[in-house]
């Protein structure tokens, strides 16, 4: 055990090197917002503006918050308050004492996690909870809490010192200690995974891996023009036969990516002892690892574990891959993939087992509740996608819920695009923080780029314009 723990420690240090070598994605250099903090003592009484240039078309659903003493871009508060987030009381539930509000959700890539993230963000906004958010709100990969890195307080929007973070649901690499440093001790940890074969295919297409392979094969005269434009199962097959032959194609998003998100160091992807050990750790840390293939079942488990209500877990499917190419793997290729993505297959088998054991424990009512949920969710999706013109959708009381209505504003939130939503939440969180520091925070309506020469910061990249 000691040896394994040691190797885990070593691996953390190595990760930095390996990962920065593996991931060749350059980010726009982050500005140093710290400069603002350093000078903040001298300019406390000045006015701080929120910059809202590059406003997205989605911003019509955001408005000025009239309830608080400061003006920030905020989700339409009247819409929020008039929906039923605050109204519905939980149905009596023997295993449920009170709704859990501190949750860390590990947003694993390409595993249905964008949809789940929207559920968590909707819950957080509806209940005025603090979200763990990255500091930047624009630029390549701004929505990551850590890109190939775990969580760190220095990379997230700070909070007033008398408050705690409640909800974490942006991309970041899992590490127990780092999460403990940010999230309250009573937080519930939730993850999500997907069948590793379909994950591999989906990620290959989505992140351009498939296309890069095609290019290589084409240049090696293994594909002709006709093949190049057709969907081509041989592409992945050629790769799986000999991954070492494609060294210049990045495998960052297709090689054990789920395990990587769950904190497995690439050097240990094939290390059986480490994987055994790590899975045991994850078992202790995570209350639930959802399974994308059993999405409705997963959400009902989530609802029961967090003591949430039916309305809280409703969703409209998001980020479904539009670049979808229907590829499949032959039996031989699947065997090869199982070796190449050993860690992910172990991860999946392990949590698929614990998932169904857990479902069994829930008893017969579980499947009834799942079926009821599926029915409601389907109708809500139809309502939200405007196929039904009515103003609201009424859900009758059942064994699992009190009656409630879904209004158009709920639909708006459920169908918001991830990036504009995150951007607005980040700006709003900065507004709250600066307001707590004693600034007057105001919307900046001008779209001009201003440079404050005294502070030598290009304010185009800074949310707050400090008037001097
Ligand atoms: C906010 O929501 C209310 C109630 O749904 C609506 O009347 C109003 O137009 C919305 N405001 C904006 C800016 O979307
Ligand atoms: C929101 O609800 C309150 C109280 O129920 C009501 O007074 C107000 O008019 C509603 N606002 C909108 C925009 O529907
Ligand atoms: C934190 O303190 C501020 C005043 O500094 C107060 O307005 C706010 O309500 C406090 N938050 C909590 C959660 O107590
Ligand atoms: C990778 O290297 C091969 C030669 O080994 C070359 O044919 C191919 O174009 C390269 N692909 C990329 C994406 O650079
Ligand atoms: C997950 O576990 C269930 C129950 O043991 C099994 O029927 C199913 O085939 C497993 N799914 C996959 C994709 O392995
Ligand atoms: C919804 O539930 C509330 C209380 O739980 C009840 O007063 C109301 O009549 C119900 N509405 C409908 C339309 O059933």
**For position 65, what pLDDT does the model report?**
32
Q: What is the mean pLDDT of residues 134-140?
A: 88
Q: Give whole-number Cα distances, 10 to 4, 152, 267, 269, 368, in Å.
A: 10, 19, 10, 14, 48
**Whether the CB of 161 sits within 6 Å of ligand 3:** no
pLDDT band for position 420 (cuts 50, 70, 90): confident
Cα separation, 266 vs 353, whole angstroms: 24
Fold for 1-30+95-207+252-364, please state it: Rossmann fold (3.40.50)
Among the listed ranges 24-28, 182-186, 233-237, 292-296, which one has the minimum average pLDDT value?
A: 24-28
Q: Give whole-number Cα distances, 316 to 22, 29, 295, 353, 374, in Å.
A: 35, 35, 12, 27, 12
Q: For a ligand 1 pocket test, name from 52, 66, 76 the mutation site with the most ligand atoms within 8 angstroms of its C-beta.
A: 76
**For position 319, what pLDDT does the model report?**
56
pLDDT band for position 442 (cuts 50, 70, 90): low
Instruction: Give the pLDDT confidence of 197-214 residue by residue, as tens digits.
Output: 999 999 998 899 999 998
Cα separation, 332 vs 166, whole angstroms: 46
Nearest atom in ligand 1 to 407's CA: 5
**For position 284, what pLDDT does the model report?**
97
Cα separation, 110 vs 206, whole angstroms: 9
Instruction: Give the pLDDT confidence of 20-68 residue by residue, as tens digits.
Output: 333 222 222 222 222 222 223 232 223 333 333 333 333 323 333 333 3
Instruction: Give the pLDDT confidence of 331-377 residue by residue, as tens digits.
Output: 999 999 999 999 999 999 999 999 999 999 998 889 999 999 999 99
**For position 77, what pLDDT does the model report?**
37
Q: Which residues approach ligand 5 with their CB closer than 6 A?
A: 195, 352, 356
Q: At what angle do helices 365-384 and 342-362 cross, to 10 degrees?
A: 110
Cα separation, 187 vs 128, whole angstroms: 17
> From the CB of residue 426, how many other CB atoms can be counted at a distance below 10 Å?
24
The DSSP 8-state label assigned to residue 393 in this structure reads E
Contact 208/234 with Cβ under 8 angstroms?
Answer: no
CA of 81 to the centre of ligand 2 (A): 8
Return all residues near 225 (Cβ < 8 A) that are at least 6 apart.
none
pLDDT band for position 318 (cuts 50, 70, 90): low
Q: Which of 5-9, 83-87, 272-276, 431-435 has the highest mean pLDDT?
A: 272-276
Contact 155/193 with Cβ under 8 angstroms?
Answer: no
CA of 46 to the centre of ligand 3 (A): 21
**For position 226, what pLDDT does the model report?**
73
Cα separation, 392 vs 408, whole angstroms: 6
Residue ranges per domain, the chain?
1-30+95-207+252-364
Whether the per-residue pLDDT at 463 is higher than 70: the answer is: no
pLDDT band for position 387 (cuts 50, 70, 90): low
**Whether the CB of 162 sits within 6 Å of ligand 3:** yes
Cα–chain center distance at 111:
10
pLDDT band for position 464 (cuts 50, 70, 90): very low
Q: Quick check: pTM over 0.95?
A: no
pLDDT band for position 389 (cuts 50, 70, 90): confident
**For position 224, what pLDDT does the model report?**
76
Return all residues near 208 (Cβ < 8 A) that are at least 6 apart.
none
- Region of 256 (left: φ > 0; alpha: ψ -120 to 50; beta: rest) is left
DSSP letters, 38-59, are: HHGGGGTTSEEEEE-TT--GGG
Whether the per-residue pLDDT at 90 is higher than 80: the answer is: no
**For position 121, what pLDDT does the model report?**
95
């Amino acid at each position: 055990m000691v040896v394994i723990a040691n190797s885990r420690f070593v691996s953390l240090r190595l990760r930095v090197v390996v990962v920065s070598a593996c991931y060749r994605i350059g980010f726009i250099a982050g500005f140093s917002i710290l400069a603002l903090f350093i000078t903040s003592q001298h300019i406390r009484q000045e006015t701080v503006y929120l910059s809202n240039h590059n406003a997205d078309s989605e911003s019509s659903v955001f408005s000025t918050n009239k309830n608080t003493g400061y003006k920030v871009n905020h989700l339409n508060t009247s819409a929020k308050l008039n929906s039923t987030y605050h109204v519905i009381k939980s149905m009596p539930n023997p295993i449920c004492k009170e709704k859990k509000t501190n949750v860390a959700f590990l947003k694993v890539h390409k595993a249905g996690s964008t949809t789940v993230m929207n559920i968590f963000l909707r819950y957080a906004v509806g209940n005025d909870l603090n979200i763990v958010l990255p500091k930047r709100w624009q630029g390549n990969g701004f929505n990551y809490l850590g890109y190939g890195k775990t969580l760190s307080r220095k990379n997230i929007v700070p909070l007033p010192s008398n408050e705690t973070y409640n909800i974490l649901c942006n991309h970041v690499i899992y590490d127990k200690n780092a999460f403990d440093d940010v999230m309250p001790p009573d937080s519930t940890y939730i993850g999500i995974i997907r069948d590793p074969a379909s994950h591999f295919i989906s990620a290959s297409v989505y992140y351009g891996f498939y296309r890069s392979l095609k290019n290589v094969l084409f240049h090696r005269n293994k594909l002709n023009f006709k093949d190049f434009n057709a969907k081509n199962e041989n592409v992945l097959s050629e790769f799986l036969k000999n991954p070492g032959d494609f060294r210049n194609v990045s495998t960052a998003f297709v090689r054990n990516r789920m395990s990587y998100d769950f904190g497995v160091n690439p050097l240990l992807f094939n290390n059986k002892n480490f994987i055994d050990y790590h899975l045991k750790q994850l078992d202790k840390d995570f209350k639930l690892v959802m399974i994308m293939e059993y999405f409705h079942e997963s959400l009902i488990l989530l609802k029961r574990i967090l003591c949430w209500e039916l309305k809280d877990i409703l969703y409209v499917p998001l980020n479904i891959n539009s670049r979808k190419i229907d590829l499949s793997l032959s039996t031989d290729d699947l065997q090869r993939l199982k070796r190449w993505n050993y860690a992910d297959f172990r991860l999946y088998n392990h949590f698929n087992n614990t998932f169904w054991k857990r479902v069994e424990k829930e008893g017969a009512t579980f499947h009834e509740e799942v079926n009821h949920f599926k029915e409601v969710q389907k109708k809500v999706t139809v309502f939200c996608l405007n196929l039904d013109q009515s103003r609201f959708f009424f859900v009758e009381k059942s064994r699992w819920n009190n009656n409630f209505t879904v209004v158009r504003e709920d639909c708006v939130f459920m169908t918001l695009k991830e990036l504009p939503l995150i951007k607005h939440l980040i700006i709003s969180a900065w507004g709250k923080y600066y307001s707590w520091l004693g600034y007057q925070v105001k919307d900046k309506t001008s779209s001009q780029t201003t440079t404050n020469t005294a502070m030598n910061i290009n304010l185009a990249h800074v949310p707050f314009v400090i008037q001097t």
